[in-house]
Structures are given as C-alpha cells and as structure tokens.
Amino acid sequence: MSEGGKYALVGVVAAVVIVLDQLTKLWVASTMRLHQTITIFSWFDLTYVRNPGAAFSLFADHSSAFRVPFFTLVFVLAGGAIAFFVRQTPASQKSVLVACGLVLGGAIGNLIDRVAYGEVIDFALAHWKDYYWPAFNVADSGISVGVVVLLLRGVFVRDEQEAERRAAA
C-alpha cells in the first residue's frame, strides 16, 4: 500500500463509521420516542436516550455553552493526534490504520451530534440481570473497538518493523 493509500484507508473506514452512526441515530430518533425501549434479546435493548455528556455522562451537568466548545477542542486535539499517529504508521500496518479510522469516525460521528443537538443520541443498551452498561451508539463502538485494537497491538506486537526486516531477510 502506498503512503497515500494509508490515508485513503483511514478515510474510508472513518466515513463508513460516520455514515452508519448517523443513519442509525436518524432511524432511532425518527422511529422511537425518547426513553422508549425495545427488547431485542434478553441482554440487549434499543433504548432511545440523549447524552449531554461524554462517556459515562461525564460533564453532563455542565451547560451546553461549556460542553460544545470543550468537546470540539477535545476533538481537534484528538484528531490532530490521530493524524500525527497515522503519519508515523507504516502503510504495512493495516490493522493500526483501520483502528485509527474507527476512532476518527466515531469521534466525528459524536461531534456531529454535539454540534447539531448539544448532546449525543445513544440507543444500544447491554445488560445482564440488574447490571447495565451505559447506552452507546455506533460511534462509541467504533472508538471502543479502535482503542482496543491499538492497545492489543501495543501489548502483543513489540517491534513490527524488526519482525518485517527479519522476514524479508
């Protein structure tokens, strides 16, 4: 894959996450009432909620005048860090690039909601007995999966460039 190809891969993955995220949120907001719940499995519901805060409702009690600029700044800093990381990542490390695309797409998907509504639409609710995970959406899933992939690669792949050099020798 070429240098330009790695940016295309990140961009395509991010675009897919953004489109799926926005389409699912649009579907939920147009077909469900706020706080309505539809049970899909005994451990999973669709529940339409709006989260004014970040993960686990962090900063939810702050005003929108604080939250929107704050989360926009966080996005700009995170987006810059992702761009820098992608620039440093060899094109051969496709899983890292896909993970970056997942994180970037999720961040943009939730930023769209924050700018448009001042809060994020969440709808996926996983639970077991009386234990509930906070409601989430496709963007949150992209961020979570991307971060997990990056962490696992950091733990289990010590020096990929050295392994590539040895394999080529």
CA distance 70 to 76: 10
Written as one string, the DSSP assignment of 8-68 is HHHHHHHHHHHHHHHHHHHHHHHHS-TT-EEEEETTEEEEEEEESSSGGGTTTTS-HHHHH
Instruction: Identify residue 34 by its one-letter amino acid code.
Output: L
Residues 6+ apart with CB under 8 A from 77: none
Residue in the block written with tokens 């020798």: 169
CA-closest candidate to residue 113, choices 32, 22, 37, 33: 22
Number of residues that make up the chain: 169
Catalytic site residues? 122, 140
